[in-house]
Amino acid sequence: MPLADVRDGTLPDLPFPDDSFDCAVANFVIGQVGDPLATLAELRRVVRPGGRIAVTSWPYPLTPLHELWEEILDAADVPRPASAQVGPTTVRNAAGLIAAFTAAGLARAACDTIEWRHRVDVEQWWAGPANGVATIGHIVTSQRPEKIIELKQQYLRLSARYRTTDGMLALPTSALLATAAVTP
């Protein structure tokens, strides 16, 4: 018997009936949607009374892990498209997340900040943006070839301060983890 029945869905409109699940998790989504309250309401809709909802969000102001990419773009004089602007900052801090959960009708909202050092190989960390992953990847891959080379050079230069003795990067970062209960 499986430990959990896990289903994927795309917010803001989940393809599940009301009260379908004991819990719902939205990992690094809430800061990317146009209407965070509607998204939380949709999560609430599919979770049974007594169930739990958990979301993670990158905090704002940016962590060193994310700020590094901003520094790289600045050093290479690469403008950000309007679509690359930070999502709703109201859900990128603990007080804002708790307020959003409460406004969505959820109970016992709480938010913790989880901090760690993201250890990653230098080339592996560059490979994501170089292959179009995430917003930074869309920005990188939309550049002319000579600008991509310059971005990589700036990346190597600016990331050097995070290199460890074994040649890996150790990027300080954090995330917000907010939870709440669905009540009848």
List Cα–Cα distances, 40 to 18, 37, 53, 93, 126, in angstroms.
Answer: 14, 5, 9, 16, 33
Neighbours of 72 (CB within 10 A): 25
- pLDDT reading at 82 higher than 80: no
CATH topology of domain 21-181: Rossmann fold (3.40.50)
Q: How confident is residue 100, by pLDDT bands cut at 50, 70 and 90?
A: very high
- pLDDT reading at 135 higher than 90: no
Crossing angle of helices 134-141 and 122-130, rounded to 10°: 70
pLDDT value, residue 10: 87
Nearest Cα to 110, choosing from 36, 50, 181, 32? 181
E strand or H helix at 120, and its extent? strand 107-121
pLDDT value, residue 1: 58
- Is the preceding omega at residue 64 within 30 degrees of 0, hence cis? no
What is the average pLDDT across 41-45? 96
What contacts 63, CB < 8 A, 6 or more positions away?
Answer: 172, 173, 174
Q: Tell whether the torsion through CA atoms of 20, 23, 29 and 34 is positive or negative.
A: positive
- φ, ψ of residue 71 to 5 degrees: the values are -60, -40
pLDDT value, residue 2: 67
- pLDDT reading at 164 higher than 90: yes
Task: Quote the pTM value.
Answer: 0.86
List Cα–Cα distances, 110 to 20, 46, 166, in angstroms.
Answer: 23, 20, 38
Q: Which two tokens stand for residue 67?
A: 């700020």
What is the average pLDDT across 19-39? 91
